A and B are shown apart, each in its own frame.
Chain A
């Protein structure tokens, strides 16, 4: 391809330079800084000069001597696993069910992206309000429902505070994330399904494939790479997310919703342990880095031209 307008000179680098500077100053330096700080014992409120270099102590403490970290990792794993799993299944299921083009589809898609456009802080606050034990609309109506259908009570669906009880806080938080992000999966998978080449689908129809065969043997395998990329993107975003949980539960009750992002925040600004918070940051960033490398392996659109 003769797509290359410019010989090897400085021009490309001049075009890249501002972006590189912003990325380095805005992301890479702070991350490097966190890495450096993770080897120090530094309390918030004291000057940096008083910080002690303690080598790997923060990491030793994190990996071997601090059960709360592992609890947080476990909460993160559960939260990430269930949100992603439910969102993928529901999102793909809905995309398959609603795949057929229909009048007014654009309007509904507009509605479906609304949760994504809303501030996560506001999303968290609205749900916290609706699930509130005293004034929450959900709490009230499920309580009413529980009076009519006692089995709901037996199975523990009726609560006084969905976000306030240890056993129900995490499932409720997962539900909120599912509400917010399933539409995202739905829209992406729908675009993938509707972008499948017509001739393949028609050929399968002519060969007499029924809906199930069509779905399992033709459509899903064809959009499989898309499913994987969507899944990984979602995984990373769940790990990065912090604001909804921050305002909804702030990790509580009893750290039952304290994902790693929140653990970092609380360690830094509640326990005032900046060095230790940095080392937890390194744990979180390693996890997301590994997932990103997998995505990169599967697809990087910017490299498509290279071949």
Chain B
């Protein structure tokens, strides 16, 4: 996969026009790719007056007003924690369960193995939009259940609400967001457990697929030696396979965390005013009192930051993960 980096080094004599054209094209493409991100950061540093001018402004006194405004909002920290919590929890859950499944699919022969491998791949195609309605319905019903049995369940329910600081979660604007908020803010505690479950389920097929590839590359001799020494399959997995899979875990973690961190629709449906993830919070800037581009771009910059850092530190691993799925086929 990385062979091309070492196999050919351009001979260092003279400048070839084809090489110049090659770089020129690459730089041109890179500019196209980067431009929207550049615009985002630029706009996040503009004051509202500058943003609203008809003629694009390229030189201006940068201001951190948008960032200050976001950080000042008391809820920002809460939404940040929501995003981090959902991202890390779903990543851990996905890694654990999919590495076990990948180990079984890669190393063991059992009836139903082919079926398992195929179904895993098939469920990859479920569109998130399809999940919105049943999730809404299922969580809605749980919610109803709680309200219909005032003597039993709500004790836990209200205790929890008191604990996070009050129960007046939604204002009564009567808009769609508010309706969703009212119905879901408390569903299954606060919707975040649901998000963790659905992100894990949506990520699982791809991650199992990825990890099977990694396990297939591990030589089997070590395991056989361990089996001869009397190790159980679980010990073999924990002591031999798992430590050798750090690279695979890293790639898988980047993919799962990124999706959980970036996802918007399911988070919109499942989380409530207090537990919105950052993308959901950002989307609300488009409806409250017009479109607040400055705040949106500042928020966008903050949201893009972690994936951006991941990309620069682990580009090779990300690319290998992306190509692994397709190239092996």
Contact = CB atoms under 8 A, between A and B. Distances in A.
At the interface, is chain B mostly helix, strand, loop or mixed?
helix
Q: Which of A103, A117, A285, A299 has the most CB of B within 10 A?
A: A117
Contacts of A164: none
Nearest to A51: B137
Contacts, number: 366
B197 interface: yes
Interface string A135-147: 1010011000000
Nearest to A275: B133
A133 B264 CA distance: 25
Nearest to A306: B114
B130 A264 contact: yes
Contact of B132 (A102, A264, A291): A264
A49 B217 CA distance: 54
Contact of B122 (A30, A97, A274, A296): A296
At the interface, is chain A mostly helix, strand, loop or mixed?
helix
B33 A302 contact: no
Interface residues of B, number: 127
Interface string B82-123: 000000000001001110110111111111011011111111
Contacts of B121: 292, 295-296, 300, 302
Contacts of A269: 132, 136, 176, 180
A27 B308 contact: no
A28 B227 contact: no
Interface stretch (A58-66, A81-89, A151-159, A183-191): A183-191
13 contacts: A4-B107, A5-B233, A12-B113, A28-B123, A48-B137, A114-B311, A127-B36, A134-B54, A242-B128, A261-B128, A261-B129, A281-B133, A306-B114
Interface of B: 1, 3-5, 7-10, 18-19, 22-23, 25-26, 29-30, 32-34, 36-37, 39-40, 43, 51-56, 93, 96-98, 100-101, 103-111, 113-114, 116-138, 140-141, 144, 176, 179-180, 197-198, 200-202, 204-205, 208-209, 212-213, 216, 220, 223-224, 227, 233, 236-237, 258, 261-265, 279, 282-283, 286, 293, 296-297, 300, 303-304, 307-308, 310-312, 315-316, 318-319, 322-323, 325-329
